[in-house]
Structure 1
């Protein structure tokens, strides 16, 4: 039986769950760019994701899936400009992007990823 390793366990969720060779991350929201442009918030979040991947011995070329929630679909092109420059060409994950009301009105987006180790 494969072990399940939970990291950053809180009452409602874990920051990260590792099962076998797959890492399931909770959603990432802006930390240093709250209230700034979509470009800055996207850079902030992708930087957090990249750091988390490095910490578990993975990297962005090993992303399997990404889900992106945008506060407003009018942000789609601006977010994609940053996303497209960040992802590894030819190694892009399966992805969904939807409009959604977010927990904090100053968040322009939230991104959740699943990665291989």
Structure 2
């Protein structure tokens, strides 16, 4: 049976789950919810970089992204930072929708599937 590696697991979620060379991240939100959309997005992408590095991969191996925005009108800000963060020609399959997030101060949440 293949091993499942769970990173920073707690009773309701893991920061990431690795299985057969695939890494599935939690929905990552900003640590400082007082930041604006740009600040929160930069923080989320920094956290994702660290999480992927912990699993021996990076943003060149992205397969799928699910993104939730508190306000879909922030999509332009997100896309500017997202495009700069992605390697050229490395965009994953992606969904970006407006949603009600767990805390009203959360402006963006990003969840990824990647491979090693």
- Please tell me the TM-score bracket, short chain as reference: over 0.9
What is the correspondence of 1:1-117 to structure 2 with a 5 Å cutoff?
1-32=1-32, 34-117=33-116
Measured in 2, the distance between the counterparts of 1:91 and 1:15 equals 23
Q: Secondary structure at the match of 2:8?
A: strand
Question: What CA RMSD, in Å, does the superposition of the two structures yield over aligned residues?
Answer: 1.0
Question: C-alpha deviations, 1:20-51, integer Å up to 9, x for none?
Answer: 1101110100013x122111110000010011
Measured in 2, the distance between the counterparts of 1:90 and 1:8 equals 31
Query: What are the ranges of 5 or more consecutive residues in structure 1 without an aligned counterpart?
Result: none
Give TM-score scaled by structure 2 length.
0.95
Measured in 2, the distance between the counterparts of 1:12 and 1:55 equals 21
Alignment size in residue pairs: 116
Measured in 2, the distance between the counterparts of 1:26 and 1:62 equals 17
| 1:14 Cα deviation from its structure 2 partner | 1.5
**Would you say the 8 A contact 2:62–2:114 is kept in 1?**
yes
Query: What are the ranges of 5 or more consecutive residues in structure 2 without an aligned counterpart?
Result: none
- Structure holding more strand per residue: 1
**Would you say the 8 A contact 2:16–2:51 is kept in 1?**
no
Measured in 2, the distance between the counterparts of 1:11 and 1:3 equals 19
Q: Which runs of 4+ in 1 moved over 6 A?
A: none
